[in-house]
């Protein structure tokens, strides 16, 4: 039995080596692969069939310029990376998660969490050192610790509780949560989680967390709101003292291009109109922002904001009226 296991292990190692060779070079000849693997061309053909069975599309060409070539398939099979390739991939994913590539943050973080799960310990310190040399400019997101992102991503994936310290009401408090989703806006990373001490859903800014950790206690997922919608509504509206809704006479796509996603929620309402939900510490501020969009609009909520519109309209009309003529002074 030990001889059979050794033979199976040798075949497995050889097939993985063959896969690595096919991923490294575009085309290999049969004799060339046989020489590199130390086997016969017939064994190479059998190993190629094993790879095909596993879902790797290995094409074989005849004649001059022919050979074995790894082609694209219907699904993405596992890749074999050497140490330097793994380090470069991890650092590139950190850059994507940091917002260097528009729209790539979520996918980069998910891929980074998968890579981190299998990354050898000897490479982790190199990845951390190199990630410290990656910076962003322009409209990038607020910097966060990539290790915190990965901890939270794993906790969401594994459905285990997480804990961290978080500022609230002028003091730092310990929070225990059931993490649900990480959500990236155009400026920041947020965690949508069920707060166990407050018995409700909460949104947390990742850059404000300290001492974040994933725990071993698993939880049964609750019925959750749509993560992206909930976080966006919270960031754009619920965190402010006042909220307002407007019906804007312009397509939703047009208005979204004018307002950052973190400043307002824009919902299509048909017939070239949309609803805008936003918040502010003073209602005048959100009213001025909607006014300066340059589209006709109506106030839906709150009712007092409609009255405020009329008051400001009267002031503007008075300010724009032609000045009254000044009577000529007559000599006594």
Main-chain phi, psi angles of 116, to 5 degrees: -60, -30
Helical segments of the chain, H only: 2-24, 30-37, 41-53, 83-97, 105-118, 121-131, 146-158, 227-233, 252-256, 283-291, 303-320
Strand bridging mode 242-248 / 297-301:
antiparallel
Query: Could you tell me which of 188, 180, 239, 226 has the C-alpha nearest to residue 209?
Result: 188
Q: Which residues sit opposite 189 in a β-bridge?
A: 184
Main-chain phi, psi angles of 134, to 5 degrees: -95, 125
Is 80 exceeded by the pLDDT of residue 305?
yes
Res. 275 pLDDT band, cuts 50 70 90: very high
Q: How far apart are CA 14 and CA 31, in angstroms?
A: 15
Res. 56 pLDDT band, cuts 50 70 90: confident
Query: Could you tell me which of 187, 309, 192 has the C-alpha nearest to residue 244?
Result: 309
DSSP string for residues in 233-288: HIIIIITSSEEEEEEESS-HHHHHTTS-TTT-EEEEEETTEEEEEEEESSHHHHHH
Res. 222 pLDDT band, cuts 50 70 90: very high
CA 225 from centroid of its chain's CA atoms: 17
Is 70 exceeded by the pLDDT of residue 99?
no
Residue recorded with tokens 């070239």: 272
- Token pair in block for residue 216: 């071993």
* Residues 163-205: tens digit of each pLDDT: 999 998 889 999 999 999 888 776 788 899 999 999 999 999 9
* Residues 104-157: tens digit of each pLDDT: 566 676 777 667 766 777 777 766 655 554 444 444 567 777 778 878 888 888
The maximal CA–CA distance of the chain, rounded, in angstroms, is 130
Residue 42 burial (CB count, 10 A): 10
CB of 204 closer than 8 Å to CB of 233: no
Q: Residue 303: exposed, middle, or buried by beta-carbon count in 10 A (0-12, 13-18, 19+)?
A: exposed
Q: How far apart are CA 21 and CA 8, in angstroms?
A: 20
């Amino acid at each position: 039995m030990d001889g059979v296991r050794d033979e199976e292990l040798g075949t497995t190692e050889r097939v993985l080596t063959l896969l690595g060779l096919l991923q490294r070079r575009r085309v290999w000849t049969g004799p060339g692969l046989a020489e590199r693997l130390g086997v016969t061309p017939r064994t190479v053909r059998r190993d190629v069939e094993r790879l095909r069975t596993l879902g790797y599309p290995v094409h074989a060409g005849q004649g001059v310029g022919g050979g074995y070539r790894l082609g694209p398939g219907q699904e993405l099979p596992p890749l074999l990376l050497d140490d330097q390739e793994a380090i470069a991939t991890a650092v590139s994913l950190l850059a994507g998660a940091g917002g260097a590539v528009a729209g790539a943050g979520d996918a980069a973080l998910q891929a980074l969490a998968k890579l981190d799960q299998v990354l050898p310990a000897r490479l982790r310190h190199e990845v951390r050192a190199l990630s410290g040399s990656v910076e962003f400019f322009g409209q990038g997101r607020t910097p966060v610790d990539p290790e915190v992102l990965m901890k939270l991503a794993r906790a969401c994936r594994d459905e285990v509780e997480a804990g961290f310290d978080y500022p609230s009401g002028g003091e730092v408090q310990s929070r225990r949560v059931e993490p649900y989703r990480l959500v990236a806006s155009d400026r920041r990373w947020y965690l949508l989680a069920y707060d166990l001490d407050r018995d409700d859903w909460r949104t947390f800014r990742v850059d404000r967390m300290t001492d974040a950790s994933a725990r071993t206690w698993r939880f049964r997922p609750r019925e959750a709101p749509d993560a992206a919608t909930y976080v966006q509504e919270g960031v754009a509206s619920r965190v402010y003292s006042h909220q307002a809704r407007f019906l804007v006479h312009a397509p939703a796509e047009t208005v979204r291009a004018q307002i950052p996603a973190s400043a307002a929620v824009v919902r299509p309402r048909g017939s070239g109109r949309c609803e805008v939900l936003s918040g502010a510490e003073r209602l005048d501020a959100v009213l001025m922002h909607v006014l300066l969009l340059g589209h006709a609009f109506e106030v839906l909520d709150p009712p007092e904001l409609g009255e405020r519109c009329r008051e400001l309209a009267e002031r503007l009309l008075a300010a724009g009226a032609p000045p009254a003529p000044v009577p000529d002074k007559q000599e006594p």
